[in-house]
Amino acid sequence: MSTTSDIDAQHVELAMSRLQLMYAKPAHPYYILAPDYRETSSGIATLHYLCHILNLSGREAYICGASVVNPELKTPLLDAQTQQRHSSAGKVPIAVYPEVTIGEPLKCPVTARFLLNFEGFLTQKGMQEGPDDLMFYSGRLIAAKRGEAEGDLLNLPIIDIALFSAGDEPVIRQGAYLYQNRYPLEQIDYSQLPEGIHLLSVANPLSLTELAQRLKTAEVMYTHEWSMTCVMAVLCGCPVIFIPGHGIDQQFLERSLIGSNGFAMLDQSDAVATARAGVIGALERYVTVTTPFWQQLDVFIEKTQAAAQRKYKDQRLAMNQWLQARYPNKQQLARVLERLAANKAPRIEVLVIDKGSDAQAQQQTLKSLEPDQCLYDNLQVVVVDTEQAPLIEAINRTVARSVADWLIVVEAGVTFTPAGLLRLALELSGDCAHWLAVYADEAVRVNGSELGISLRPDFNLDLLLSFPAGLSRHWLFRRDALVGLGGFNSGCGDAYELEYQLRLIEHRGLASVGHVSEPLLVSDAFGLRDCANERAVIEAHLRARGYTHAQVNTRFPGRYEIDYGHAQQPSVSVLVVLEGRLEQFQRCLDSLLANTDYPYYEVLLLDPGNADGPTQQWLSGVEQLGSEQLRVLRLAGGQSRAALCNEAAREALGEYVFWLDAAAAIVGKDWLAQLLNHAQRPEVGAVGGKLLSADGKVHSAGSVLGLCGPVGRAFEGLSHQEAGYQQRLQVDQNYTALSGECLILRRELFLQAGGFDEEPLLAPWVDADLCLKLHQAGYLNVWTPRVQILMGAQAITKASVEQEDAMYARWLGVIARDPAYNLNLSLQQQGGFQMVDKVLSWHPDKAWRAQPVVLAHHADLQGTGQYRVIQPFAALKGAGLIEGGVSPSVLQVADLERYDPDTIVLQRNIDEERLQAMRRLQVFSRAFKVFELSDYLMDLPRGSALQRQMPEDIVGNLQRGLSYVDRLVVSTPALAEHFAHHHSDIRIVENRLPVAWWQGLQAQRRMGSKPRVGWAGGWEQVAELELIAEVIKALSGEVEWVVLGACPATLRPYIHDYRVDVPLHRYPQALAHLNLDIALAPMAQSLFNDCKSNVRLLEYGACGFPVIASDVPCYQGRSDLPVTLVRNSLSDWLEAIRMHLADMDGAHRLGDALKASIHQHWMLDGDSLQYWHKAWLAS
């Protein structure tokens, strides 16, 4: 038996790591983007194995973008439920992309790029990585190519050495093979190769076992290209010969994964013998070189998890950033103060309660109200001393002496947001004379430092009564009204504000209370506890309203359940429309009969003409029972559901009608009594309950208007045990709309309201439409979690666009501003109650349009999106000429109504989805609509990425898009001319360079042994470079050719300095750092090119490069741009370049003159901003 002393340090370390792994909880998950698994691709297999190894290492990793995995690996596919689980748990997903992935398709907070090959080698495009992306390389050569010689490696040993190894026994080898992967079959020169050579092609893939068998007996393998198959061959004892001229040379081999042993170049002497001699020891070299992988994996995990943890902390601090962003800029503040001065800004008094226990807390509050912290200065701050008099008496004395218009009581330690009181003052100085009390939103400190946010609904009586701690704190009161009603009641203890709030409602009604959707202050989180004073105040209020037998109960601390104590027990008709399956009907009826204690009800089974035989037999059986409590209404077929329901309501005998979905099952015995508890209140319209799905998730907990469409389900997808945002899954409250799957109201009220609307276009929304009519008539719709209904699976019919439009047309104003929700909560997240983007929620001066509000939608984040939308918008806003925001996607109808812009700019929107959105803009938005176009889309060049985005009928779609807008803005006179017959209002605004990007660039001159002549452009512009291919070849001995971006393989041998494409934000510096002595701008003649802008000349010129360009329309007629124009012939290009080479000083003077002209006339500042301002605005 071994003892502790027998275990060496290495074993102890291993044991500790395994113990840690055993009890480790998976931290932030990995989402690995990979195609379907196939063993014939080592790159794809590597990604799947990385997922497998991460999971075996105690991490949580998933494959994305694939449907086929290796069943022997632990590589689960990512699904929406898993993503939701991660989101709910606060996990930060880490996206892992191979180098062939362009951009950020998974949109994860953290990105790791795993380069399995040279960037752009397979796609001919850069990755467009972000500045914070983490880079990991499968080989040192790949890292070095990106200038990261010491970059992090992740050399995953993808080869199964049990399968791919030569073995100890000698074998007879015969046969030569040619391995072909991407090299074109038709270009193979068999004259270089042995006769009878066999082809190993990925077009006819072998299994790994078959490949290993072939390689173990092969005499030699030839190839044009590098692949992991080459390493497999050497491991199997088969030498590999590379055919030169295709990117592989001896230097490459020496720096490859296992070195050059076992490999040789075809043009070296005794190539086969040299390579054969090097296969010995290949396995040991492979094991040695891949041994560091496990340490590399630790580094990969450590760095990615650290980045995710930083993001996690950032998200926890995001509330601070969100609050900080709600601060007016200089122009906004000036306009706000001017507005307040013109409208008699209200005087606000802040009463700070000092209980003498924490001087620091008091100072914290006072400091937040000082002029250097608080933007509103019409304030009176009073510290209420509770040592000289009881608290409420002291407050009332202070109120009586005050000359303020409004007052608010806060505890010491509360801090005010810089702009909160300013925003409230703006609202109070507006059209709100009927408000006698007003409350705002607030931030809460959790654990002393972390901030949460309480975004409250508009005044919600049932929420106030059920959860006063969440809604009654920190109201502002009109001083004269407070004094007129006798001040605060000293007999109510710590519920004195709640008592006055309820007294105010009793005397002045619900309309006397206002709400401003703006965080006013930051306070400590309150503890949830029952409060005897609160319960007493609520009971007194209920008695004052006539509910003499009401009781206030509680199941959860601080959350109250009111029993109104109705004396009557009215009759109820339960109406069930039999749509669905027979087993659901039976379950619904059985659960209803078994779980209903309330005695006075009837059940009406509404048969809409079911042709199903078993269903008809079952209904006949029900009829034969002859029960007065259970009736079957056989209604005429062919009617709409709304018409059936209306007819049934007229036939119903109950005082109340309760609509129950046929897929529902009743849970609990007192459900009907609980619904009637609210439905019998005279101020209440409809009442609904909590609907649960079979998996224990919330199906619906009320409806949120505008959520993911005209109407969405509140809290959909959350666990039924969760409390929900602001405890709202646990308390009674008012919703503007409720689900018709569980809905009760007085039969007389239902008929008075016209029942369900029978208009076919409103069919999906008849329940919400009915509730909105009740809301409009002044009734409260109540949702209660005390009633729980289990919903079975249902066939969901998606509403048509026409049906959505009909609902928007009728109710858009309230849909966009649902009183039960909050303007700072997003309408785009399923279930709702997630914060909206701060850019779309903070506009303190929007109410009176001091500056026009522009909503700009860019088509991309690349050149056209930046130059034509994003940068002009930023410059105009920075100059104080506009307000607004930018967004890549067109806002949904409700969001658009919320935002209510003066101008909407739409860039290159001609796909069907965006055209539909534009049609809605025309119908539902008053904004001036501008279409932005900078390319002639009908003549796209070969290889343009836009081709994949274009519809078949480009002209037709473009004409439709232009019919929805008020103005077309184009980048060149040529475009304006071509579209003259497509729109009556066309404005030309030429591109200008953003100052922050292009000013102050310093390029060096004469930095090469020969003059540096170059070109920059992406793969979409590579035809420009090919246009001067012969020029490049002819001058390769006279200049150093420099290329940034794209370069065809045929030209690579002539390029002295080739640099891959860089993200756009790094492009100006990267261009300047080319240190060109001459820059070239070749351009072929075409309709597309004729309509292009001259931005290439501007970019070169901003770097101070002398420019030679093609003499084509887009570069012509620019007298203020000293550029040399040439015809597109070899002789003309050579003559112009050599002329510049012969007088480099003169060429550099041209570059200086060009730079000076651009900085004077072609920057996005000064007068040039007025061009954009006039083009984007209606007048």
| Residue 858 DSSP class | -
Residue-level pLDDT at 375:
94
Contact partners, residue 477, CB within 8 Å, separation at least 6: 406, 407, 408, 436, 437, 500
Share of the chain above pLDDT 70, in %: 96
Please name the residue that has the structure tokens 């860089």.
1062
Q: What is the pLDDT of residues 598-634, one digit of tens each?
A: 999 999 999 998 888 999 999 999 999 989 899 999 9
Fold of 851-988: Rossmann fold (3.40.50)
| Residues 1077, 1035 contacting (CB under 8 angstroms) | no
Q: Tell me 737's DSSP state.
A: B
pLDDT band at 1 (very low <50, low <70, confident <90, very high): very low
Q: What is the pLDDT of residue 934?
A: 92
Per-residue pLDDT at 842: 66
Q: Does domain 572-816 have CATH number 3.30.70.330?
A: no
Q: What is the mean predicted confidence (pLDDT) over 713-723?
A: 92
| Predicted confidence (pLDDT) at residue 203 exceeds the cutoff of 90 | no
Which one, of 74, 80, 81, 78, lies nearest residue 58 by Cα?
74
Q: Measured between alpha carbons, how far is 336 from 1105 in angstroms, rounded to an integer?
A: 47
Q: Nearest to residue 906, comparing CAs of 894, 914, 896? A: 914
pLDDT tens, position by position, 389-447: 899 999 999 999 999 999 999 999 999 999 999 999 999 998 888 999 999 999 998 77
Residue 958, amino acid: L
CA nearest 533: which of 568, 488, 567, 565? 488
Number of helices followed by number of strands (H, E) in the chain: 42, 45
The stretches of 785-839 forming alpha helices (DSSP H) are: 801-816
CA distances from 878 to 823, 882, 883, 885, 928 (A): 25, 8, 9, 12, 21
Within a 13 Å sphere around the CA of 951, how many CA atoms are in the beta-carbon half? 17
pLDDT recorded at residue 1156: 95
Do residues 362 and 383 lie in contact, with contact meaning Cβ atoms separated by under 8 Å?
Answer: yes
Helices (H), 24-65: 42-56
Q: 40: pLDDT confidence band, cut at 50, 70 and 90?
A: confident
795: CB partners within 8 A, 6+ apart:
580
State both tokens at 930: 């501008």
Instruction: Return the closest-CA partner of residue 664 out of 578, 569, 785, 600.
Output: 578
**Do residues 665 and 789 make contact, with C-beta atoms less than 8 angstroms apart?**
yes
Structure-block tokens of residue 1038: 């006279």
* DSSP SS3 for 1176: helix
> CATH assignment of 344-551, given 2.30.30.60, 3.40.47.10, 3.90.1150.10, 3.90.550.10?
3.90.550.10
3-class secondary structure, 475: strand
Contact between 409 and 497 (Cβ < 8 Å)? yes
Q: Quote the pLDDT of residue 5.
A: 47
Which of 721, 710, 712, 698 shows the shortest CA–CA distance to 832?
712
Is 121 a residue whose pLDDT tops 80?
no
Domain-by-domain residue ranges, the chain?
24-153, 176-280, 344-551, 572-816, 851-988, 998-1163
Kindly state the DSSP code that residue 1113 receives in the 8-state scheme.
G
State yes or no: pLDDT of 212 exceeds 50. yes
The arithmetic mean of pLDDT across residues 853-875, rounded, is: 92
Can you say how many angstroms the Cα of residue 725 is from the centroid of all Cα atoms in its chain? 20
Q: Over 70: is that where the pLDDT of 6 sits?
A: no
First-to-last CA distance in the chain? 93
Query: How many of the other CB atoms lie within 10 Å of CB of 168?
Result: 5
Q: Which residue has the tokens 């004395």?
A: 397
Tell me whether domains 24-153 and 851-988 share a fold.
Answer: yes
Q: For residue range 808-850, what is the model confidence (pLDDT) as tens digits?
A: 999 999 999 999 999 999 998 889 998 887 666 666 666 566 7
What pLDDT is attached to residue 1064?
83
Q: What is the pLDDT of residues 514-533, one digit of tens each?
A: 999 999 999 998 889 999 99
Query: What proportion of the chain, given as a percentage, has pLDDT over 90?
Result: 70
Distance CA 301, CA 297 (A): 6
Fold of 24-153: Rossmann fold (3.40.50)
Angstrom distance (rounded) from CA 1111 to CA 1118: 11
Edge-to-edge strand order for the sheet containing 220-223? 198-201, 176-180, 220-223, 240-242, 263-265
pLDDT digits (tens, 9 = 90+) for 652-708: 999 999 999 999 999 999 999 999 999 999 999 999 999 999 988 999 999 999 999
Strands (DSSP E) contained in 674-728 are 684-693, 698-700, 703-705, 711-713
pTM exceeding 0.95 = no
CATH superfamily for domain 998-1163: Glycogen Phosphorylase B; (3.40.50.2000)
pLDDT at 145 > cutoff 80: no
What mean pLDDT, rounded, does the chain reach?
91
Average pLDDT score over residue span 1161-1172 = 93
Query: What is the DSSP secondary structure assignment for residue 375, as one 8-state letter?
Result: S
Predicted local distance difference test score (pLDDT) of residue 2: 44
Predicted confidence (pLDDT) at residue 14 exceeds the cutoff of 70: no
pLDDT band at 3 (very low <50, low <70, confident <90, very high): very low
Residues 720, 722, 725, 731: is their CA dihedral positive or negative?
A: positive
What value does the mean pLDDT take over residues 575-591? 95
Dihedral (CA of 49, 54, 56, 61) sign: negative
pLDDT of 4: 46
User: How far, in Å, CA of 867 to CA of 874, rounded?
Assistant: 11
**What pLDDT score was predicted for residue 845?**
60
Tokens 């000013």 belong to 999
